[in-house]
């Protein structure tokens, strides 16, 4: 049993997580998001790096490597399924 007991937030689910707003969608990133995410990451890199964790010195850059981005998506999926973390992308419009 978790330290939260039977609290509804302690339940780990495999259901897709999607939060809809009037103009935005919040959901986990998937490998097919690579091009759009890479474009945003490259255009806003200077500002975004302040908020991102430091990367390992010799690891591939997920904003430039589709394989590294796919691996990152898989890692975030494992964290979400374990109930450890919920990393999401914010999409504007009908994305």
DSSP 19-74: EE-SSEEEE---GGGHHHHHHHHHHTHHHHTTTSPPPPTTSPPTTT-HHHHHHHHH
Task: Render pLDDT for 8-42 as a digit per residue (tens, 0 to 9).
Answer: 555 555 667 899 999 999 999 999 999 999 999 99
Name the pTM for this structure: 0.76
Average pLDDT in the 37-57 region?
90
């Amino acid at each position: 049993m978790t330290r939260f007991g039977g609290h509804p937030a302690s339940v780990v689910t495999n259901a897709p997580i999607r939060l809809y707003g009037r103009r935005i969608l919040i959901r986990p990133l998937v490998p097919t998001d690579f091009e759009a995410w890479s474009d945003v990451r490259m255009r806003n890199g200077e500002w975004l790096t302040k908020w991102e964790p430091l990367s390992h010195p010799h690891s591939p850059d997920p904003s430039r490597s589709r394989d590294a981005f796919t691996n990152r998506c898989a890692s975030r999926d494992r964290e979400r399924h374990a109930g450890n973390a919920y990393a999401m992308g914010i999409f504007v419009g009908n994305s």
